[in-house]
Amino acid sequence: MKLHLFTVDAFTDLPFCGNPAAVVLLSQVVEEHTLQKLAKELNLSETAYVKPLVSTAEDPWVHCSRFTLRWFTPTTEVPLCGHATLATAHVLFHSLGNTSHQLEFETQSGLLVARRDGHYIVLDFPANPPTPLTPSEETQLASLLKVVSSGLQVEQLLLSRTTKKLLVRLHHSCTREQLEALRLDSAAWMSLHDGSLVKGIIMTTRGNLEVTNNLQEAQKNPSEYHCLSRYFAPWNGIAEDPVTGSAHTVLGPHWSQELSISKLRCRQCSPRGGDVLVTVRTDGRVDLSGQAVTIIQGHVTL
């Protein structure tokens, strides 16, 4: 059996930046344990498996607009992954020449939509706003909370229960340089919490961009952002994720409320780094916009 494979750098327009994901085209049934083994073999933060839902006489990869989509880390299947969804849409639109303006993906998190917007691909995702910890949650996470900030001043701790992401909002005095300089032993966090309540930790602070809803104006200075973040998910086998779409379904609603704007330019400050444009809608969803670059194309033989 041969499966068509792509690796794509997502949320960037430059190779070797952003977040790499594998995209595997499924034209036949593959057993689940094989999907997991392949994700482990590829050893990227996410491997996406995409399959057309409608068979046509013509090439379904070109003419179909509705697909199933699943995401696997090297250790487990996850219910939502933004950068691998962006990578999948990029492969369909730009590598396979899909003619649709909009693609629909059936996933564990419901129906997700990706559409073209000039050089960008826009992902329509559910918003996952974080809320304060309850006293019992604070007790459960007490050991983890003592070390998670690595000595930086914490302004607020919030939890997105739908995604199991803990948002650690650092004091506004925290600079981008301090955030980028953090060296966290995220593997040690696993000894302090079993992953039952938290699967990932978002470290975030406010950026230096003037508050504006005009993203075109905001993009004139490429070094300025509304918010900065890093994301760590050792409970999912990812010490640090370079750029995380699902984390921005949490960050977007939080910073939108804090800054009283609906459109944000966000930077994830991992060593690879990447940009996400977030629009927080009034219907409980967010639009995540980004670019992507195909790096490798080939086949997997099973």
Catalytic residue among 31, 32, 41, 46: 46
pLDDT in tens, 120-171: 999 999 999 999 999 999 999 999 999 988 889 999 999 999 999 999 999 9
At residue 211, the pLDDT reads 63
At residue 248, the pLDDT reads 96
pLDDT in tens, 35-68: 999 999 999 989 999 999 986 668 899 999 999 9
Q: Please check whether the two domains, 2-126+290-301 and 131-280, share a CATH topology.
A: yes
Q: Does the annotation mark 104 as catalytic? A: no
pTM: 0.87
More confident residue, 54 or 99: 99
Report the mean per-residue pLDDT for the chain. Answer: 92
Selected from 3.40.1160.10, 3.40.50.2300, 3.40.1440.10, 3.10.310.10, the CATH number assigned to the domain covering 131-280 reads: 3.10.310.10
At residue 231, the pLDDT reads 95
Q: How far apart are CA 237 and CA 154, in angstroms?
A: 26
pLDDT in tens, 212-246: 656 565 555 667 899 999 999 999 878 899 999 99
Selected from 3.20.20.80, 3.90.180.10, 3.10.310.10, 3.30.1370.110, the CATH number assigned to the domain covering 2-126+290-301 reads: 3.10.310.10
Instruction: Report domain extents, the chain.
Output: 2-126+290-301, 131-280
